[in-house]
Amino acid sequence: MSLAVYALTCGHLTGELAHLMEGGEGRIRLPIPAYLIEHHRGTALFDTGMHLDCQHDPAGRVGARLAGLFDFDYRPGEEIGARLAALDRDPARIDLVINSHFHFDHVGGNAQIPNATIVVQRREWDAGMDPDSAARRGFDPRDFDLGHKLRLVDGEHDVFGDGSVVCLPTYGHTPGHQSLKLRLEGGDIVLAADSCYFCRTLREHRLPRFMHDRAAMLASLDRLAALEANGARIFFGHDPEFWQTVPQAPEALS
């Protein structure tokens, strides 16, 4: 059993660090990651980045409030479909999209992966399908309610049935946020997504300004810390310094 995993950078956002970490100062340029996972039983993406419209009209796509919080550095060729094409992978032949959660910079590229089954926590789907809940949390059903087949999961979920790719509930940032644990030859890695924006989030427990459930998010950080203590490497969600150390496709993670 072996996995091939590729890190993909799907643009950048720049915003105030104070919104993303208690006590933060100044502005920070955030990478927008996605990951291609190849397993002998199928191919999966963990998150899909932003919608194509964000390349030319962010406010028209995500609304004036979100567009006012960030500067968008997102250019043609950085969208998930183009990133896959650069690897000679056909977006129409991806089997699964595993969405960590339903914020625009993680789910906006789902439309470019037309034939995949979406794997998401049931509580995230339910929050996204309730209009009032979706509006409060900044979810846009145009990003995820596109007619894909669904695999709604409750808690921990073994994606391929052999323990190599496991969804981990890391609630708190949103109602049904999930991270992904991967078993590579060099050891386990955990794609934390927005359960842990930065290395400092984990080390100092300095949470973002906006979240669904503070206690749940702290509990998720404790879970990540325990996994790290047992040897897993944590891949932080939007940490620019950490991201500079991550091999980019076409080099695989190891």
Q: Give tens-digit pLDDT for 153-192.
A: 999 999 999 999 999 999 999 999 999 999 999 999 999 9
Tokens 């056909």 sit on residue: 90
pLDDT at 72: 98
Residue 251 falls inside a structural domain: no
**CATH number, position 20:** 3.60.15.10
Number of domains in the chain: 1
pLDDT at 2: 82
Identify the domain containing residue 158 by its residue range.
Answer: 4-243
Q: Give tens-digit pLDDT for 9-21.
A: 999 999 999 999 9
Residue 249 falls inside a structural domain: no
Look up residue 138 and give its two tokens: 């900044």
Q: Can you give the length of the chain in residues? A: 254
Residue 253 falls inside a structural domain: no
C-alpha 21/C-alpha 15 separation (Å) is: 11
Residue 128 falls inside a structural domain: yes
Q: Give tens-digit pLDDT for 74-119.
A: 999 999 999 999 999 999 999 999 999 999 999 999 999 999 999 9
Average pLDDT, the chain: 97
